[in-house]
Amino acid sequence: MMGGVLMGKSNSLVVIGAQWGDEGKGKVIDYLAGKADVVARFQGGNNAGHTVVYGANIFKLHHVPSGILSRETLCLLGNGMVVDPLVLIEELAELEKRGIDTSGLRISGKAHLNMLYHRLLDEANEKLLGEKKIGTTGRGIGPAYADKIMRRGIRAVELTGFARFRERLSEILPLQNRFLQEIYGHEGFELDELAELYRPAIDKLGPLVTDGSQLMAEKLDGGKKVLFEGAQGTLLDIDHGTYPYVTSSSTVAAAAASGCGIGPRHISQVLGVIKAYTTRVGEGPFPTEDHGEAGEQLRTRGHEFGTTTGRPRRCGWFDSVISRYAATINGLTGLAVTKLDVLSGMDSVNMAVAYRCRGKEIRNFPISLEELKECTPVYESFPGWDEDISRVRRVEDLPAAARRFLDAMEENTGVNVELVSVGPDRSQTIIYRSSNLETWIASGSKKNN
């Protein structure tokens, strides 16, 4: 009998960012990856910077799923991603130098390649936009996705042989050179020189290219535990984010299915990672942004500087208008609240419960950027706590004030908190008892992978 529907319930968990990125997804995924058979990225590229800390080890991952650090985990770069082969081989070399086994990595042949000219086009485009720039990571993400949609991209399957890669590049390059030369004043690239630059990447990555959907189907039908690793965040989603100040991919939970080539019925749980306050890098509206002392305190205490670009992150209080919106858009089944420890020692902590806009109080996130720009947060203030909570491992051991703040997050978001992170280390993690997440963690095993 065929697999699929008849093979029983899938056991997969999607983990996405519920704010503007950098919520601590890497930390949360690394913790959960220890219990997963497969970890798959489904969108974005090396604009992501996911930090994983255990003991004295600090890893900053950009393409490679955080699952690579866990034993016997298959890691997939899904078809929804844009992969920079030159950067990926460096990332792998760095991991291997540090003793990490990268043999579990596979790349979907349908993923698109983020090429050197995309990086140049990204930078040039930002320059042309001037004051209206997006504040991109400069990694070529927008141009790479644009070429995919314009049907002039190069897919990872072309990495399976130098001749086929060169052939596809020869079809694409003349047009790219015209853009570079005529619009952006760059001299352009010579075909053979550019193709040669990619030879080491072709040698290294070609053997990793596979049919990603088929691989996922086999794993899911075989009852394996699959973790989908989101990058960026809901408010950076190309459709649902603060357009045009967004990234160029679909960052929401539903994209896990199309971005790995599986059916949506396989997604059983959706965990939204959310900081106990809010940050954003790059341009665009941010209603709870705090330009005063609180914002500065959050940035300093939370070490809020970008993993990918080192830029200082804009900081402000927790915004439950956003968390409610993220709950709806993603169908969140649970919240993973990170960086609660950063709030220790503050006299009081604020949470936006609504916005005031054009004389009215609104509770729903507005779709118009103009309206959003005019929104000011309506805060509810909560008493702070002084205790250092970084060693707490049980919810009941958290200070009453911290628990009250978590309760308010649940009430205002309409989703249960299932995980609380009280420090960057893998061990600084609290799982709520009897939560769906606890059930997921306890279910199945990594055996027979």
Minimum separation from the CB atom of position 202 to ligand GDP (A)? 29
- Angle (CA) 119-245-318 rounded to 5° is 125
Nearest-10 Cα torsion for 249, 219, 438, 256: 10
Q: Which is nearer to ligand IMO, 49 or 377 (CB)?
A: 49
The reply to whether 30 belongs to the active site is: no
- Give yes or no for a contact between 240 and 257, defined as CB atoms under 8 angstroms apart: no
Rama region for 93: left / alpha / beta (φ>0; ψ in -120 to 50; rest): alpha
Minimum separation from the CB atom of position 283 to ligand IMO (A)? 6
- Selection from ligand GDP, Mg ion, ligand IMO, none that 422 binds (CB < 5 to 8 A by kind) is ligand GDP
DSSP 168: H
Catalytic residue among 22, 30, 237, 290: 22
Q: In whole angstroms, how far apart are CA 429 and each of 47, 193, 313?
A: 26, 49, 24
Minimum separation from the CB atom of position 26 to ligand GDP (A)? 3
Q: Which is nearer to Mg ion, 297 or 307 (CB)?
A: 307
Minimum separation from the CB atom of position 407 to Mg ion (A)? 28
Dihedral of alpha carbons 319, 324, 327, 328, sign:
negative
Q: Fill in the amino acid letter for 339.
A: K
Q: Which is nearer to ligand IMO, 313 or 426 (CB)?
A: 313
Q: Name the phi and psi angles at 81, rounded to 5.
A: -90, 160
- Give yes or no for a contact between 274 and 326, defined as CB atoms under 8 angstroms apart: yes
- Selection from Mg ion, ligand IMO, ligand GDP, none that 344 binds (CB < 5 to 8 A by kind) is none
The reply to whether 63 belongs to the active site is: no
d(CA 257, CA 330): 12
Dihedral of alpha carbons 91, 93, 99, 103, sign:
positive
Q: Which is nearer to ligand GDP, 152 or 391 (CB)?
A: 391
d(CA 144, CA 421): 34
Q: Which is nearer to ligand GDP, 307 or 416 (CB)?
A: 307
- Give yes or no for a contact between 122 and 142, defined as CB atoms under 8 angstroms apart: yes
- Selection from ligand GDP, ligand IMO, Mg ion, none that 412 binds (CB < 5 to 8 A by kind) is none
d(CA 109, CA 144): 16
- Selection from ligand GDP, ligand IMO, Mg ion, none that 354 binds (CB < 5 to 8 A by kind) is none
- Give yes or no for a contact between 139 and 45, defined as CB atoms under 8 angstroms apart: yes
The binding site for ligand IMO (CB under 6 A) comprises 17, 20-22, 47-50, 134-137, 139, 141-142, 231-233, 236, 247-248, 281-282, 307
Cis-peptide into 264, omega within 30 deg: no
- Selection from ligand IMO, Mg ion, ligand GDP, none that 142 binds (CB < 5 to 8 A by kind) is ligand IMO
Minimum separation from the CB atom of position 109 to ligand GDP (A)? 27
The binding site for ligand GDP (CB under 6 A) comprises 17, 21-27, 49-51, 53, 307, 338-339, 341-342, 421-424
- Selection from ligand IMO, Mg ion, ligand GDP, none that 136 binds (CB < 5 to 8 A by kind) is ligand IMO
- Selection from ligand GDP, Mg ion, ligand IMO, none that 247 binds (CB < 5 to 8 A by kind) is ligand IMO
Minimum separation from the CB atom of position 369 to ligand GDP (A)? 24
Catalytic residue among 30, 50, 266, 341: 50
Minimum separation from the CB atom of position 327 to ligand GDP (A)? 18
DSSP 44: B
The binding site for Mg ion (CB under 5 A) comprises 22, 49, 307
d(CA 170, CA 24): 41
Minimum separation from the CB atom of position 184 to ligand GDP (A)? 30
Quick one: angle between helices 320-330 and 400-413, nearest 10?
Answer: 50
Q: Which is nearer to ligand GDP, 25 or 119 (CB)?
A: 25
- Selection from ligand IMO, Mg ion, ligand GDP, none that 137 binds (CB < 5 to 8 A by kind) is ligand IMO
Query: 3-state DSSP: the chain helix, strand, coil percent, rounded to 5?
Result: 40, 20, 40
CB-based contacts of 388, cutoff 8 Å, min separation 6: 341, 344
d(CA 351, CA 231): 25
* Positions marked active-site: 22, 50
